Structure 1
Amino acid sequence: MARSTKINTYLFWTLQIVGWGFLTIANVWSKMYLVPAEKVKPNYFLVEGFIFITLGIGLTSLLRNYLKRIDFIANQNQKSYIKVFLAFGIVSWLFSGILIAGAHYSFLYIHNKPNDFSALEIFSTIINIAVFIFFWILFYVGIKSLERLRKNKIDRLKLETELKDSQLNTLKGQLNPHFMFNSLNNIRGLMLEDVDKARDMLTRLSEMLRYSLNMNKVDAIPIAQELEIVDNYIALSKIQLEDRLVYEQDIKQDLTQIKIPPMVLQMLIENAIKHGVSNQKNGGKITLIVTDDNNKIILQVNNTGTLKTETDSTRIGLNNIKKRLELLYGNDATFTLKEVENEVQATIEIPVS
């Protein structure tokens, strides 16, 4: 912020000096060229030019401070327009009056005689100064307005990025708390039957917890890493479902290092168990398929069961997946859920980056 302010200040003074300097040089040169030296001494025009550039830079700098004080760029309303119009009139009259008075006394000092300005010369001077100040205001307001638009655009993009990151961090890496409680209760019961297996299940549960917490730091992980978490989830689910849950994989091995959003496969498996297999009296089978087609990774989970109208509470995981895919890939990724021959198929297609 401080660097930006410093650059803006440097740019303002550069434009001030260059702009008023150009007008001064043009004015002095034209008068020296058009007015004979025997009539008006050249050094008079230099003095007049010095007064002109000093007033131009000084008064418009004060005008700039006033525009900043009333915050005209951000608050362009009827009241502020009236204030700027009055400031424009005051600066124009001050500029014209001081310039005419300074030119009069400079001419008197250099030539030892007064220079009686005609009414036309005075009027044209006032009009010229008013035009200069008017265009100075237009130029300044135009630049500051463009700068404000650019800043607003940058701020909006930053806000959108921060919001997107916040949404992703909220959505990804979340384990269902009911699954956690059920797993802990199942492991507690398992300890009475098989301590070694219970210890192994605790290790798998802790790995899933650590994985879930660490996922806030990344947007994509290798499929192989996600498959490890899926295996842990299946193992923990089997404590309760036992032989009622049959799990199979059909993984194209050369795709295991392709990166995908974390937790999406785990959420598909969770949905298939919770709303498919666990609702079947005799259980069922879940098949995880990972393949590719036309530069897209296809992640598919099939489960025994039918596609029913879900309540709001049961669609949290699926909506989570849809929202994350939308935030990460826009319209380039798809998520479909359909029923085919007594099986529910959940399919995600992700472009290969």
Structure 2
Amino acid sequence: MARNVNLYTMMKRLSTYWLCQLAGWGLYAAITIFFYEKLSVKKIEQFYFLIFISIALGLLFTHLMRTIIKKSEFLEKPIKRQIISFIIVTIIFSIAYASLDVAIEKMLNLSGYLDPKISALNEIIRSSINSFFIFFIWNLIYYTYHYVERNRKQQVDTLKLQSLVKELELKTIKSHINPHFIFNALNSIRALVDENPNRARTAITELSNILRSSMHAEQLETVPLVREMNIVKDYLALEKMRFEERLTVEIDINESTWELPVPPMMLQTLVENAIKHGISKKINGGSIKVISDFVDGHHELVVQNSGQLNGFTNGDGFGVRSTQDRLNLLYQGKATFDIKNLGNDMVESRIIMPLNNL
């Protein structure tokens, strides 16, 4: 019983790759031995030792081939280049395998499959042709597995993204209809009803725009920056009524970025966090600046606000976590998000996204 448990534990520790390697080459050895025992007329000296050498070399060379494929990132290249790389690598490793196999047999003076009437070069060519088919099948299985696995991962990531966007919608709606925000906005609007009716009507429209955008956040993966900025401006306009002169707003947008895609409600969430965790905690208020520009071939969004992190890190808070998760899923790790202190009285949130990645 203990021996079975140890065997099971050992098998669990082996990766899928090595299990497939051992199973594949084990099957190759079994088929070769079967045909030799049942159909071969001529018996070969040290046949099983020769099979052992072939299997050991096969494991070594296919593992080296896999290492080169991974380090050269062949699977990340366009399909045509993948096919060309696939064929070239198979040919090179078939010749190398055959050369070493023949050299070892001659060095150890093993009769094996070698015909004394055939030169070593011809033997290598013949062995290369045979091994080419084996390596071709190995590579075909390897590439097919990763192609299917990548498609499966993309489908899983899509489902995760849909789930995350739905969660974001619920969390965002809750954050916008929480008593602090709603009551502050409504109180400001009520104060304006008699004093400035036109501004009150505008404020009601701004509030409804924010709530409507929150409810529609799950329907799209990205929206044009101009649409996201309209919501940000509505939100800041409402907060400006509350803070009055205590809030200074600066918008610095490169006009060429207006139509670039951004995740919905992402920028608005960062601005809301800046108000909630930064400016609202300062007696004299502060300033907030929103920047959108091209930097080193990327689209960069920056939110700067008065305040200090005071122990707050990149993993704290729903807004920060959702920003990181959404960027990872949308851009497959090619986008970055960072939040840090700038000096003694300023916090910066920075999102860097690749262009034309979606």
Length-normalised TM-score, structure 1: 0.53
Q: Hey, what's the Cα distance between the residues in 2 that align with 1:321 and 1:268? A: 9
1:260 matched residue in structure 2: 262
**Which region of structure 1 is more displaced relative to structure 2, 180-189 or 255-264?**
180-189
Q: Hey, what's the Cα distance between the residues in 1 that align with 2:309 and 2:284? A: 17
1:222 lines up with 2:224 in the alignment: yes
Q: Hey, what's the Cα distance between the residues in 2 that align with 1:266 and 1:157? A: 27
- For the aligned residues, what is the CA RMSD? 3.1
Q: Which amino acid aligns with 1:269?
A: V
The structural deviation recorded for 1:214 is 1.8
Q: Hey, what's the Cα distance between the residues in 2 that align with 1:329 and 1:151? A: 20
Larger radius of gyration: 1
Q: Could you say what secondary structure the match of 1:247 adopts?
A: strand
Q: Hey, what's the Cα distance between the residues in 2 that align with 1:213 and 1:153? A: 32
The 1:248/1:165 distance shift into structure 2, 3 A limit, reads same
1:167 matched residue in structure 2: 164
The structural deviation recorded for 1:155 is 7.6
Q: Which amino acid aligns with 2:247?
A: L
Q: Hey, what's the Cα distance between the residues in 1 that align with 2:313 and 2:177? A: 18
Q: Which amino acid aligns with 1:348?
A: I
Contact 1:307 1:339 in 2 (8 A): yes
Q: Which amino acid aligns with 1:320?
A: S
Aligned length: 207
The 1:254/1:159 distance shift into structure 2, 3 A limit, reads closer
Identify which of 321, 325, 347 aligns with 1:344: 347
Q: Could you say what secondary structure the match of 1:238 adopts?
A: helix
Q: Hey, what's the Cα distance between the residues in 2 that align with 1:276 and 1:314? A: 15
Identify which of 312, 317, 320 aligns with 2:319: 317
1:278 lines up with 2:307 in the alignment: no
1:288 lines up with 2:285 in the alignment: no
Contact 1:297 1:352 in 2 (8 A): yes
1:327 matched residue in structure 2: 329
Q: Hey, what's the Cα distance between the residues in 1 that align with 2:311 and 2:250? A: 26
Q: Which amino acid aligns with 2:322?
A: N
Q: Could you say what secondary structure the match of 1:306 adopts?
A: coil
The 1:251/1:151 distance shift into structure 2, 3 A limit, reads closer
Q: Hey, what's the Cα distance between the residues in 1 that align with 2:303 and 2:314? A: 21
Q: Hey, what's the Cα distance between the residues in 2 that align with 1:311 and 1:227? A: 26
Unpaired runs of 5+ residues, structure 2, are 1-146
Q: Hey, what's the Cα distance between the residues in 1 that align with 2:353 and 2:285? A: 30
1:67 matched residue in structure 2: none
Unpaired runs of 5+ residues, structure 1, are 1-149
Write out per-residue CA displacement over residues 279-318 of structure 1, whole angstroms, 9 at most, x where no aligned residue. 1111111111111122211100111111212499972222
Q: Hey, what's the Cα distance between the residues in 2 that align with 1:301 and 1:172? A: 21
Q: Which amino acid aligns with 1:346?
A: S
Q: Which amino acid aligns with 1:187?
A: I
Q: Which amino acid aligns with 2:354?
A: P
Q: Could you say what secondary structure the match of 1:282 adopts?
A: coil
1:248 lines up with 2:245 in the alignment: no
Length-normalised TM-score, structure 2: 0.52
Q: Which amino acid aligns with 1:292?
A: F
% same residue = 35
Q: Could you say what secondary structure the match of 1:332 adopts?
A: coil
The structural deviation recorded for 1:156 is 7.7
Q: Hey, what's the Cα distance between the residues in 2 that align with 1:208 and 1:184? A: 14
